[in-house]
Homo-oligomer: A and B are copies of this chain.
Amino acid sequence: MDLSQRSVAGVFSGKRVLITGGLGFIGSNLARVLAAGGARVTVVDSLIPEYGGNLFNLDGAPPGITVNIADVRDRFSMHCLVQDRDVLFNLAGQTSHLDSMHDPFTDLDINATAQLFILEACREVNPQIDVVLASTRQIYGRPQYLPVDEKHPISPVDVNGVSKNAGEQFHLLYQSVYGLRTRVLRLTNTYGPRMRIKDARQTFLGLWIKQVLTGQPMEVWGGDQLRDFNYVDDVVAAMLRVVADDTTVGQVYNLGSAERISLRDLAKLLIRVAGQGSFEIRDFPEERKRIDIGDYYSDSAKIEAAVGWRPTVALAEGLGRTVRYFREHFRHYV
């Protein structure tokens, strides 16, 4: 990890931190790092089976983490939970693009309405809190140019993109109007230990890892699309860096990687790293094709200039660590 445990400890030791979606993939990795650095962490998670929360994600975690089961759509719980915190990492979300089309109301409730609950609660009872929102590259839609920087037009291709965009805009609005200390990270594909591998709801790469480890062929839709990937430790480092820096308030930053790869080559790399596996190139299913974005990769120059962040874990290395993690803990994730 880019930001060493020592420097994290310096900044967050003794801080009271709230993480929504804290039993999920990124949230739990973040909670572990913060707790190791001496922070007093409360994770909020609803443990809805289709989402990323998993109690095992905190197995063997450092002391100092409190688990609070609650749904971010529960306005009064959130009102209570944001009180007396120094920092909020706001990571809870509905992430599945397909689910957002099958049940658009739930997606909007979680990714927009609940975000407004959280922000109103902060404004009312804790206006000094530092907030980081985990947003998504999905809001850009099909890239009009590459790499995609933060000025790229917003043109979502699914309900998830619309809802997340509204949630993001609310965060920026509550900064400009009320002075809340919010900032936004637009994540690209993130992978690593503790990701959801049961299905493709978090990312197709999760499902691929399960398929590789169970001897099933990976289903590669299309195959030529270019994507970029961030290892979860790098994403955690980005969150810690932006929240430790006052100049990031009110700003939006892309995460991303200069290492771009086609889905076909990614499948080959995963097989090589795992020493097993196979894949099949498939035509897009119709409902998936309608919301696919084609090639995508981010320009993350803005966050590098602002806080010196850049990814440090190469894809082959990160995939290796991920495969090792899931080999060891497979039964807790399927």
Binding site for B on A (CB under 8 A): 101, 104-105, 108-109, 112-113, 116-117, 120, 151, 153-154, 156-159, 161-163, 165-166, 169-170, 173, 176-177, 290-291
Contact = CB atoms under 8 A, between A and B. Distances in A.
A269 to B, nearest CB: 32
A112 B177 contact: no
Contacts of A166: 108, 112, 162-163, 165-166
Nearest to A117: B105
Contacts of A101: 177
Nearest to A176: B157
A108 B108 CA distance: 10
B173 A157 contact: yes
Contacts of A176: 157, 290
A178 to B, nearest CB: 8
Contact of A108 (B104, B113, B158, B161): B113
Nearest to A105: B116
Contacts of A153: 151, 153
**Cβ-closest 5 pairs across A and B:** A166-B166, A162-B169, A177-B290, A104-B116, A162-B166
Nearest to A177: B290
Contacts of A170: 104, 159, 162
